[in-house]
Amino acid sequence: MLSSPSRLFVAKPLIEFQSIDSTNAYAIELISKSNPSEGTAIIAQYQTDGVGQYGRKWVGEEGKNLMLSVILKPVFLKPTEQFYLTIITALSIAEVLESHLDKHIRIKWPNDIYVDRKKIAGVLIQNTLKSSRIEYTVVGVGLNVNQQHFSTDLANPTSIYNEKQDTIDILQVREQLFDTLEQNYLLLKGGKRSSLRNAYLDRLFQKNVSHKYQLQNGDTVEGVITGVADQGHLQLQIGQKDHLFQLNEINYIL
């Protein structure tokens, strides 16, 4: 199944590279130099300087994985609402993966995609603001598809291949992802915020179970994830009290 005939704008156009430094960096450069149309996507078989969260590197074997960026123009969102972009991206990846794997796919806050306790995909969203509005968003997705072996530096990686023991058509996954991202983006644009948010919360990793977390000051606490606040902060109940955490303020102990 390739592009669904009804897809309107995502990956129209699609800019393809055999090798590039980073598809996100390319997208940001494109935005700074021109006015790319909404949905423009960049994809590479290999990245020499792939960027992950927290300034980490994102490394993938050539031709085995999906590494792509989609440029969106969510002018209908306030900067304080940008977590909805995380929601729709993480949900879209989870929905596509669930169509291939016989497992419930979870989202480890804010946007790591997990199969059981293993990471199968990551998201890097970068926004450009203009007059306190989001002008452009670059949605970067790294999804492990057919790679079998990973660097031992990575804590708990997996891929579709490793979960199924079977090679899968990357083009099919790519097109499904473009279709699903467009559908969820249009739902967001159409005001379906609470159902998208609930679908995200339904997939939240370690929700409602007691676990240990490490705080920024090095302390370890035991708490229960109860949800995610409107602006994307993680809600963790420690003892009887609810606390809100931003990215970087809390680490999962897996």
Per CB under 6 A, residues contacting ligand BTN are 22-24, 47, 50-53, 56, 58, 67-69, 112, 122-124, 140-142
Nearer to ligand BTN (CB atom), residue 238 or residue 247: 247
Residue 183 in 3-state DSSP? helix
Shortest-Cβ-distance residue relative to ligand BTN: 122
Burial label for 123, CB within 10 Å (0-12, 13-18, 19+), is buried
CB-nearer residue toward ligand BTN: 124 or 173: 124
Residue with tokens 């199944």: 1
Q: Which residue, 77 or 124, is less far from ligand BTN as judged by CB?
A: 124
Residue 45 C-beta: closest distance to ligand BTN, Å = 12
What is the closest distance, in whole angstroms, from the C-beta atom of residue 194 to ligand BTN in the complex?
26
Are 25 and 55 within 8 A, CB to CB?
A: no
Q: State the nearest-atom distance from the C-beta of 67 to ligand BTN, in Å.
A: 4
Please tell me the distance from the alpha carbon of residue 138 to that of residue 193, in angstroms, as a whole number: 20
CA–CA separation, 111 vs 85, rounded Å? 10
Q: In whole angstroms, give the CA distance from residue 233 to residue 96.
A: 25
Is the Cβ–Cβ distance between 247 and 223 less than 8 Å? no
C-beta of residue 39 within 8 angstroms of C-beta of residue 11: yes
Toward ligand BTN, which CB reaches closer, 51 or 228?
A: 51
Q: Minimal distance in Å, beta carbon 195 to ligand BTN?
A: 26
Nearer to ligand BTN, 107 or 199 (CB): 107
Q: How far is the CB of 69 from ligand BTN (least distance, A)?
A: 5
- In the beta sheet, which residues pair with residue 235? 227, 244
The residue among 155 and 238 lying less far from ligand BTN, judged by its C-beta, is: 155
Smallest Cα–Cα separation from 86: which of 107, 102, 101, 61?
107
* Shortest Å distance, C-beta 132 to ligand BTN: 26
